């Protein structure tokens, strides 16, 4: 494929109060860089929003320690719906996001003081890496994984998004999708059992096949060094029939709504997706404009309908007041931006609640 997937740009979260969610993740997990803040109609997403254009308010928050960001997404004219049933581990869709834990013990201790609705003790993954799970105040599961990748120093014990745990119904079919289209070509582990570290998760005491996918070599262009290496963990529950997390709901309703990849070269990606029989279901064609950022985006569905977004960024603000932006269309797509330019995004750090 003649293009590059530079990493996970962000994971989308549907919420009722975007500012409250941003403030919490800014304060406790270091997502304090406000890349954009925009209110506009989601004109291209109608096939996922009941055939009608929905107005929305969105924030993109990044963590400069390194990793993907959070697109915090809120309907403006509609009350977002929660699932019709209690979500269970292994249901189809994004079960949890993975966050980099540069100092996992300190992060765990800090979260423990918050008396969250759910927090496990530090355990070991199937690859013997320290990790733990918690629920944020809005009921979204987060896995903090010990990981020492760092783009630059910050005061946070956590980095950004490392990956996601995705529930699937047919592991072999899903592995093909994530390996062929998203280039997670290495199976780091593939185990089937009742996993002790899933024990306290909802219906986690079932038999699962659990596959961790990584990259053998990572193409890095644009913001790729900020985003860092990523992983995808696929889980298939084997002794019950899973449900779809977004059954009878809209994209933008409560929970994890999509996983987004930063790319350069959208056309080759479209051709490859069509060849694999996972064609784009949404395509902004030329350019989206979110006021402060601009680019080209598209969506595909994984074999179970989980939405995967691709964003080819064309313009990113650095010094908005001076009208200074990074124009990525004129750059070599395989060459990372100079580190000092990316670090300049720290000017967008938010120090207090919005």
Residue 318 within any structural domain of the chain = yes
Residue 176 within any structural domain of the chain = yes
Q: Is it the case that residue 257 has pLDDT exceeding 80?
A: yes
Give 179-184's long-range contacts (Cβ < 8 A, gap of 24+).
179/213, 180/272, 180/276, 181/269, 181/272, 181/273, 181/276, 181/278, 181/300, 182/5, 182/232, 182/261, 182/308, 183/1, 183/5, 183/215, 183/219, 184/213, 184/214, 184/215, 184/231, 184/232
Contact 67, 160 (CB under 8 A): yes
Residue 354 within any structural domain of the chain = no
Residue 87 within any structural domain of the chain = yes
Residue 198 within any structural domain of the chain = yes
Name the residue with higher pLDDT: 286 or 335.
335
Tell me the per-residue pLDDT of 67-125, one tens digit each, with 9 for 90 and over: 999 999 999 999 999 999 999 999 999 999 999 999 999 999 999 999 999 999 999 99
Kindly indicate the confidence band of residue 324, based on its pLDDT and cuts at 50, 70 and 90.
Answer: low
Residue 174 within any structural domain of the chain = yes
Candidates 215, 229, 249, 261; CA nearest to 91 is: 249
The mean predicted confidence, pLDDT, of the chain is 91
Residue 192 CA from chain centroid, whole number:
25
Q: What is the DSSP letter of 261?
A: E
Tokens of 183: 């280039």
Predicted confidence at residue 317, as pLDDT, reads: 63
User: Into how many domains does the chain fold?
Assistant: 1
Q: Is it the case that residue 150 has pLDDT exceeding 60?
A: yes
Residue 105 CA from chain centroid, whole number:
23
Q: Is it the case that residue 148 has pLDDT exceeding 70?
A: yes
Please give the share of the chain, as a percent, with pLDDT higher than 70: 91
Predicted confidence at residue 217, as pLDDT, reads: 77
Candidates 82, 92, 97, 83; CA nearest to 134 is: 97
Give the whole-angstrom CA distance, residue 201 versus residue 204: 5
Residues in the chain, how many?
354
Predicted confidence at residue 346, as pLDDT, reads: 87
**Domain of 117, in residue numbers:** 4-348
Give the whole-angstrom CA distance, residue 95 versus residue 233: 10
Checking phi first, is residue 139 left (phi over 0); if not, alpha (psi -120 to 50) or beta? left
Kindly indicate the confidence band of residue 322, based on its pLDDT and cuts at 50, 70 and 90.
Answer: low
Candidates 245, 215, 141, 89; CA nearest to 131 is: 141
Residue 353 within any structural domain of the chain = no
Q: pTM for the full model?
A: 0.94
Average pLDDT of span 156-180: 97
Q: Is it the case that residue 290 has pLDDT exceeding 80?
A: no
CATH number of the domain encompassing residue 182: 3.10.180.10
Contact 242, 228 (CB under 8 A): no
Residue 312 within any structural domain of the chain = yes
Rg of the chain on CA atoms, in Å: 19
User: Quick one: CA dihedral 29, 148, 6, 48, positive or negative?
Assistant: negative
């Amino acid at each position: 494929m003649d293009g590059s997937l530079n990493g996970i740009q962000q994971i989308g979260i549907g919420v009722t109060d975007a500012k409250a969610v941003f403030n919490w993740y800014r304060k406790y997990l270091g997502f304090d860089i406000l890349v954009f803040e925009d209110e506009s109609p989601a004109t291209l997403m109608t096939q996922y929003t009941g055939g009608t254009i929905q107005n929305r308010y969105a924030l993109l928050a990044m963590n400069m320690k390194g990793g993907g960001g959070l697109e915090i997404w809120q309907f403006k004219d509609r009350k977002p719906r929660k699932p019709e049933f209690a979500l269970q581990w292994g249901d189809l869709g994004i079960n949890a996001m993975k966050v980099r834990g540069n100092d996992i013990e300190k992060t765990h201790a800090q979260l423990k003081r918050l008396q969250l609705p759910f927090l496990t003790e530090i355990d070991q993954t199937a690859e013997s890496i320290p990790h733990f799970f918690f629920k944020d105040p809005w009921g979204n599961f987060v896995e903090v994984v010990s990981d020492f990748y760092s783009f630059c120093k910050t005061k946070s014990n956590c980095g950004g998004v490392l990956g996601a745990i995705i529930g699937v119904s047919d592991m072999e079919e899903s592995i093909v999708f994530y390996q062929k289209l998203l280039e997670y070509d290495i199976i780091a582990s593939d185990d089937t059992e009742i996993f002790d570290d899933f024990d306290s998760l909802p219906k986690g005491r079932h038999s699962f096949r659990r596959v961790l996918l990584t990259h053998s070599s990572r193409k890095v262009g644009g913001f790729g060094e900020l985003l860092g290496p990523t992983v995808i963990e696929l889980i298939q529950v084997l002794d019950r029939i899973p449900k779809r997390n977004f059954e009878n709901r809209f994209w933008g309703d409560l929970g994890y709504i999509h996983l987004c990849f930063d790319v350069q070269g959208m056309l080759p990606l479209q051709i490859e997706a069509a060849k694999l029989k996972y064609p784009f279901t949404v395509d902004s064609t030329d350019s989206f404009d979110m006021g402060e950022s601009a680019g080209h985006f598209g969506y595909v569905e994984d074999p179970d309908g989980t939405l995967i977004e691709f964003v080819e960024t064309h313009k990113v603000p650095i010094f908005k007041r001076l009208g200074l932006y990074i124009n990525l269309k004129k750059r070599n797509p395989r060459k990372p931006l100079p580190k000092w330019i990316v670090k300049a995004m720290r000017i967008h750090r938010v120090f207090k609640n919005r």
